[in-house]
Amino acid sequence: MSIKLGDFIKSIISAVVLLFGIPFLTREWFCKNKVAVLLYHDVQPEIFAKHTDYLSRHFNIISLDLLVTSIHNKDFSNIPPKSVVITIDDGHAGNIALLPIIMRYDISPTIYVCTQIINTHRHFWFRIPTLSKKEKEHLKRLPNAERLTHLSQTSNFEPEKEYEDRQALSLNEMKQMMPYVDIQPHTQFHPILPNCTETECKQEILGSKIDLERHLSIECHHFSYPNGDYTEREIEIVKAAGFCSARTVDIGWNRSDISPYQMKTIPISDDAGLIRFRAELTGIPQRIVKWVNTILWRITI
């Protein structure tokens, strides 16, 4: 399915969700005592400002630390009703433009960064412009070594190659953000962890913690799985590396009995207008599009 068709489906579903008052019912009733962990990637500041303004008027924006502590205690009594956490994945260079908004609304989001891509001119493999959505989905299913060989042969892509333009945050930008933003690891190079060997997986998880702690002189406690993919093996490696939490992209709001290593997410489209954003906060459009995508993938392979 093309991105445009996905967007069209999301717009139609969003309109229907709003028409039935589902965002209001979700906020005030179904999920009043659950916490949404929102997920952005490379959102533009104008859009992020509109979303943050809406959230600040209708929800309580809390830190990931507060949520994780409450999950470990299995007690949400310190969490205000209608709470959300804001997370941003990968460490895209454009994230620095969000800093004035983050400061204005005092929201302390968490940015999960790829620690061997930040502060370099290396590129994210999933941003290769010639890769179609279908090719990317295919690559996400290959063993890690096969994916890298394919990228090298078809796109001349090498994970450690330094390109002309910079796609990720620089060290200086991260240091500017640090007083207002929680910066945490998201592996070193963004592989699909279950497709890695055990050695690769340990290196990507533990290595990213060591990298970031060294870069920023901080202690890292939280991790997010690239593409949200994980198995029991990844959970055990994340725990053994000393992380307190890990965020998936399993769609949903979090209750106090959720595993801290399988925290659910509400992915938000980086380009969502306010109508779609309000609908996406329910998680319904994303579930339907994911379901349609899975069916189409099975039909076309």
Concatenated DSSP letters for 204-270?
HHHHHHHHHHHHHT----EEE-GGG---HHHHHHHHHTT-SEEEEEEESPBPTTS-TTSEEEEE--T
State which residue, 83 or 87, has the beta carbon closest to Zn ion.
87
* Shortest separation between residue 225's beta carbon and Zn ion, angstroms: 8
What's phi and psi for 296, nearest 5 deg?
-65, -40
- Integer angstrom CA distances of residue 241 from 190, 214, 224, 246: 17, 15, 13, 12
Site residues for Zn ion per CB under 5 A: 89-90, 226
Question: Rg for the chain (alpha carbons), in Å?
Answer: 19
- Integer angstrom CA distances of residue 275 from 42, 125, 175, 279: 19, 31, 34, 6
* Shortest separation between residue 271's beta carbon and Zn ion, angstroms: 17
* Shortest separation between residue 23's beta carbon and Zn ion, angstroms: 26
* Shortest separation between residue 125's beta carbon and Zn ion, angstroms: 11
- Integer angstrom CA distances of residue 111 from 125, 133, 300: 19, 24, 35
State which residue, 185 or 283, has the beta carbon closest to Zn ion.
185
State which residue, 186 or 278, has the beta carbon closest to Zn ion.
186
Helices (H), 90-170: 99-105, 133-139, 144-155
* Shortest separation between residue 186's beta carbon and Zn ion, angstroms: 6
231: Cβ–Cβ under 8 A, 6 or more apart, which residues? 194
| DSSP summary character for residue 195 | G
State which residue, 23 or 91, has the beta carbon closest to Zn ion.
91
State which residue, 226 or 285, has the beta carbon closest to Zn ion.
226
State which residue, 89 or 234, has the beta carbon closest to Zn ion.
89
* Shortest separation between residue 230's beta carbon and Zn ion, angstroms: 13
What is the number of the residue whose Cβ is closest to Zn ion?
89
